[in-house]
Structure 1
Amino acid sequence: MTTAASVEASGDSGGSEGSHGGDDSPYALSHLDALESEAVHIFREVAGEFERPVILFSGGKDSIVMLHLALKAFAPAPVPFSLLHVDTGHNFPEVIDYRDRTVARHGLRLHVASVQDYIDRGVLRERPDGTRNPLQTLPLTEKIQAERFDAVFGGGRRDEEKARAKERVFSLRDEFSQWDPRRQRPELWQLYNGRHAPGEHVRVFPLSNWTELDVWQYIAREGIELPEIYFAHERDVFKRSGMWLTAGDWGGPKDGEDVERRQVRYRTVGDMSCTGAVESDATTLADVITEIAASRLTERGATRADDKLSEAAMEDRKREGYF
């Protein structure tokens, strides 16, 4: 189910022949090849410019593609970066299992910043709605500072959300890990400026110019394994604020929220308390690609409750240090 499949529905062969825009040259890159080449260049640029980079890896599809690109960028040598995951304690078990298998398979080092540890110490408090996604900022920023990471790779894409659309590929964070859009640097001709003062660091987004459809087409072309929750399956869910949420001990369902057995899949994966499933019959990569191509809602706009807290919810969190 998670291996490469026919992607004729996507309209792109993923090969090296032909390109968009009518160029029939056998040496022209397809759009996926061009995106891959750009991302590989970014990884190598960071490896040459920074001393202690780290890759954010949650086991979600974007971080999976990002790690796959990093493996390609440095093959046959090992990836010269460790991984970092901010664990809310409310993650999907299937995704955590995938994360741990991947780390073991590639012999990588994984740093985990636990939201639960901060709650147990009284540094953070549970929110009334049960979601822990907004609580990730402090564990993330303190782990970056403690480990002295100077470049942090994230899987954010500009098509996901309007605050992320403002980001450069290299995005400077101050000594408090905060983001100031006014300090964005120009990136003409793919020239990236990684200069930063002591205590500052740079967030790096190799998938900035990818779309959700690009990600799925690339997964199909490369035969990348994914957690099974990205494909249609039966699950106990309940409806809240127009989204199907997974029942669990994080605080749902409440009185009046009935649990139903539905066939669903996930377009994006985060905290169980704020990540909604979509009803779907897509059990293969080709089915998912067809479904995404027809969608008129971004994955975060359709299935992430934490982005619906306010009109500027994501930008507010980014200014505080969130990705």
Structure 2
Amino acid sequence: MSTADHRLTQLQTLEAESVHVIREVAAESERPVLLFSGGKDSIVMLELARKAFAPARIPFPVMHVDTGLNFPEVLEFRDKRVAELGVELVVASVPDAIAAGTVRQEPNGSRNRIQTPVLLDAVEQHGFTALFGGARRDEDKARAKERMFSFRDEFGQWDPKNQRPELWDLYNGRTHLGESIRVFPLSNWTELDIWGYIAQEEIAIPQLYLARDRDVVDRQGMLYAVNEFITPRDGEQVLRESVRYRTVGDANLTAAVRSTASSVEEVIAEIAVTRLTERGATRGDDKVSDAAMEDRKKEGYF
């Protein structure tokens, strides 16, 4: 007599782990919030949160640290998805902070560094005690050091040497007054897993992730789409290339990659054979140094 095979697939195992983590934090934390930018990782994380509490609504708000340099298509997608789920959206605005004089923009045009104080101010203002982030360990060396529950002190700072053990997937979410947690339900996912899950669950994504002909300029080997934030410099030639985005950060510093992958299935096939991480391939602001991400995380970045 044969018996049914009840073994979980890789994606089912990852989904179950992430849903467990999300429920655990919702049960333990006084005021959690999910960081949602409209990018592929946060889209998957929001879908996992929806599944974790269905048929009830997601019992916590979502927050976007808006740099003012986002791709318009991504902001449009963010607002549409939040409205569909009926969740509260909190926007922490970097342009508002610049106007108020609480942060100062860097000469290179990057607003990544000044995202951190804006994020920390929003956490304090709203009393958030746990922040769900969409980081994955395969993104960056600093991410690989991170635990599922990443504890931050009263200043929002991360000390990689002062983190709690997570033996047998048991999580201690207790915090003292002023402390908070960054929680990463996607820690054990890879970029390929994210795309596989998007395909499996038929999750909507911004069209920037799919290839089409776009006007771009080549700057130090990276292709930047011509838009309201990127205009050709003297001597630069506008090229018409078939490109797509692997990540959708700030439009003035996020490059596209040459690609003909115009469907999710084609993206999966392309990612399966690539050997360069998405940040290394597309994020101009992460090329400052090998320790750029770790330095930002120690300052309070998620």
Q: Common fold, TM-score beyond 0.5?
A: yes
Q: Please classify the TM superposition score into its range, dividing by the shorter chain length.
A: over 0.9
- Contact 1:54/1:152 (<8 A) preserved: yes
Q: Normalization by structure 2: what TM-score?
A: 0.96
State the shift of 1:74 in Å: 0.4
- Contact 2:224/2:230 (<8 A) preserved: no
Task: Detail structure 1 runs of 4+ shifted over 6 Å in the superposition.
Answer: none
- Contact 1:263/1:279 (<8 A) preserved: yes
CA distance in 2, matches of 1:134, 1:254: 25
CA distance in 1, matches of 2:242, 2:108: 25
Greater relative CO, 1 or 2 (CA 8 Å, sep 6+)? 1
**Alignment-mate amino acid for residue 116 of structure 2:** T
The unaligned stretches of length 5 or more in structure 2 are: none
Out of 70, 74, 82, the position equivalent to 1:91 is 70
| Greater displacement, 120-129 / 293-302 | 120-129
User: What's the secondary structure of 1:219's corresponding residue?
Assistant: helix
Q: Say what the alpha-carbon RMSD is for the aligned residues.
A: 1.3
State the shift of 1:292 in Å: 0.1
CA distance in 2, matches of 1:296, 1:120: 41
Distance 1:155 1:210, change over 3 A: same
Do structure 1's residue 169 and structure 2's residue 169 form an aligned pair? no
User: What's the secondary structure of 1:69's corresponding residue?
Assistant: helix
CA distance in 2, matches of 1:38, 1:154: 15
CA distance in 2, matches of 1:97, 1:34: 32
CA distance in 1, matches of 2:195, 2:248: 14
Match of 1:44 in 2: 23
Q: Normalization by structure 1: what TM-score?
A: 0.90
Q: How many residues align?
A: 300
**C-alpha distance after superposition, 1:268-316 (max 9, x if no partner):** 1111122110010001111000000010011111111121111200000
**C-alpha distance after superposition, 1:34-87 (max 9, x if no partner):** 000000000110011001000000000000000000000000111011000011
Out of 240, 246, 261, the position equivalent to 1:282 is 261
CA distance in 1, matches of 2:114, 2:242: 30
| Greater displacement, 35-44 / 301-310 | 301-310
- Contact 2:68/2:95 (<8 A) preserved: yes
CA distance in 1, matches of 2:239, 2:147: 42
The unaligned stretches of length 5 or more in structure 1 are: 1-23
- Contact 1:132/1:273 (<8 A) preserved: no
CA distance in 2, matches of 1:115, 1:251: 19
CA distance in 1, matches of 2:78, 2:170: 32
